[in-house]
Every structure is written in structure tokens, then in C-alpha cells.
Structure 1
Amino acid sequence: MVRLALSIAVVFIDLSAASAGTVKMRAGWAVIDTRQSFQVLVERLEATVRSEKMGIVTTASASEGAKGAGVAIPGNKVFGVFRNDFARRMLGSSVAAGIEAPIRIYITENQDGTATLSYKKPSTVFAPYADEGGDALKSVGAELDGIFARIAERATSDK
């Protein structure tokens, strides 16, 4: 009887792990599990960033690097997203905060073939510089929070 109960518990744990996204929610983050494939979500994010008048400043992908070495790992890609007018405003209030730009959006492939989009909210990213950047930096973070939320919503929607 104990073996049966233990077996059932293991199955439920495995099922919940398989259906859970690759990135877990944490304070100050946005994490959106989707039904989209990794490649579709990457393409939708790229198009949505452009439509929100933001720029993809950097990209990095361990899965692409691994593929080049002949190793297959689940898809992942980091996009650095920003815009020059925000950079100027941010630097005008805190030079130290410049190390945080561009703000990163992370797409990861889940075990079931779907993908997860996640990012640290810009206001969270800039929070450690509040003593130096004051209300001006908080304003930049809040404005970017809205833009990043729209990007995430549009890229991950089923429409």
C-alpha cells in the first residue's frame, strides 16, 4: 500500500514538473507560460518589440551555441530590449544604472514543446539605484514596465 501511494505521488510530481514552465515566478518578475512553440514565440517577440517602437539591442542563446558544438539542449534565448531616449533619461538620473541596460527578456523551451517568456520588470531592475536616480529613474522604470507588459501580452497572446 505504501509503495502504491509513493508511486502515485511520484507520478503526480513528474506530471506537475512536466507541465510547469521552465522559469518560476519570483518577486519583481513577469513569467508567462504559453502554448506557443519556442520558435513561434521568438518570432512573435521580435515582431512585437519592433511594433512597440523598442529595439532588440542584444541577443544570446546557449541552445544555439550548443547546437554549433553538436549538442542539443532545450531552446533558450535572451533578448536585450531598450531604446536610446530611455537610455539618455536613465543615465541622466543614474550613471550606475546604465549597467542594467538593455532590459532582458528570456524565452525558454519547456519539456512539452511550449515556451515561456519571462523578464525582470524594469522598475525592479532599476530599484537598487533609487537612492541615486530618485523620481526620474522611478519614472523611467514605471514607463518601461508598461511597455514591457504590452510586449509580453501581445507576444504571448493566442490571437
Structure 2
Amino acid sequence: MRFFILVLILLTGPPALADSVQPRDGWVVEPTDKPFDALLGDLRAAVRENGMAVVTQAGPTGAAAQRGIIIPQNRVVGVFNNVFAVRILDASVSAMIEAPVRFYLTEENDGVATLSYKKPTFVFAPYALDAGPDLMLAASELDAVFAAIAADAIQ
């Protein structure tokens, strides 16, 4: 069996990485001309400037490199603040599992980065019927905050 897999890899080449993030319902996808590290730094600054905080970060690139696998940079950056946390908890304890809302930075083959995120109204929509209007009011306010963060980060 190992021989078959080795032959298959030799004939087809190494596994290809997935394509770039593509626009889809509920997502905002912003290609940029910035290198990955510059966009990440600009995102962090834009988060602070817009009254939010980076509360989580994760990405497989460093761990993959430690295993000898080189992949394009990517990072998931969770963004939130306590004001929205309290409002969302008040509207729906269940909806709080979606916090923090995340930005996704991906490095493209040409070295520039793309900034993507799901709109908060899309993220929290599954809880709207049970939660009432306050949840979606907070989510729509978060839509504006996330749009401002993205605009600041990619400029």
C-alpha cells in the first residue's frame, strides 16, 4: 500500500493547497496589496482604533514549519469587547458561543494577503428567533464596527 501511495505522489506531485478564500453568502472578502505581516499589524492597530480587542489568535503556519511543512501564512484573529459580550449574553446565552467574531488573514501565492470575515449579523442569525431583537441590533452594530476595522486595516 505504501508503494502505491508513493507512486501516486510521484506521478501527481505534492498535494495542492486549497484556493484563496472566495466570496460567499454572509462573508466579506477583501484582497489587498499588502504582505501578510503588514496586514496583520494593520489589523491589530485597526481593532484597537475601533474600540475592540484581539482576544484570540490561531494559525497553523508555525506548527507546520516545525514539522517541516511550508504553507502560506494564515491566521484567524478573534475580535470582541466586553460591552458587546454583556449585550449578547443578555439577549442569548447560546449565541455567546459565536464570540469572538473572527477575521481571517490568508497569504496568496503572489505574497500579498487577503482579509476575510463573516458579518456578525450572519454569525448571530441562527439565534435571532430565540433571542429577540436586541441580539440582532448588537450584531448590526458589530457589522459596522467590523466594516470599519476592515477598511482601516486594508487602506
Structure number having the greater helix percentage:
1
Structure 2 residue 59 is the aligned partner of structure 1 residue 61: yes
Structure 1 counterpart of 2:108, one-letter code:
N
1:65 Cα offset (Å): 1.7
1:18 matched to which residue of 2? none
2:71 matched to which residue of 1? 73
Q: For the residues of structure 2 that align with 1:58 and 1:70, how far apart are their CA atoms? A: 25
Residues 3-152 of structure 1 mapped to structure 2, 5 A cutoff: 22-152=20-150
1:22 Cα offset (Å): 1.4
SS at match of 1:70: coil
Q: For the residues of structure 1 that align with 2:58 and 2:22, how far apart are their CA atoms? A: 20
Q: For the residues of structure 2 that align with 1:107 and 1:92, how far apart are their CA atoms? A: 31
CA deviations 1:60-81 (Å, max 9, x no partner) are 0111221232321000000000
CA deviations 1:102-159 (Å, max 9, x no partner) are 00100000011110000000000000000111110010100000000000011011xx
Q: For the residues of structure 2 that align with 1:23 and 1:51, how far apart are their CA atoms? A: 26
TM-score (norm. length: structure 1):
0.84
Q: For the residues of structure 2 that align with 1:72 and 1:101, how far apart are their CA atoms? A: 30
TM-score (norm. length: structure 2):
0.86
Q: For the residues of structure 2 that align with 1:68 and 1:48, how far apart are their CA atoms? A: 30
Q: For the residues of structure 2 that align with 1:141 and 1:50, how far apart are their CA atoms? A: 19
1:5 matched to which residue of 2? none
Q: For the residues of structure 2 that align with 1:55 and 1:74, how far apart are their CA atoms? A: 25
Question: How many percent of aligned residue pairs carry the same amino acid?
Answer: 49
Q: For the residues of structure 2 that align with 1:138 and 1:65, how far apart are their CA atoms? A: 37
Structure 1 counterpart of 2:39, one-letter code:
L
Q: For the residues of structure 2 that align with 1:65 and 1:152, how far apart are their CA atoms? A: 27
Query: CA RMSD for the aligned pairs?
Result: 1.0
Aligned length: 137
2:3 matched to which residue of 1? none
Residue ranges of structure 2 left out of the alignment (5+ in a row): 1-18
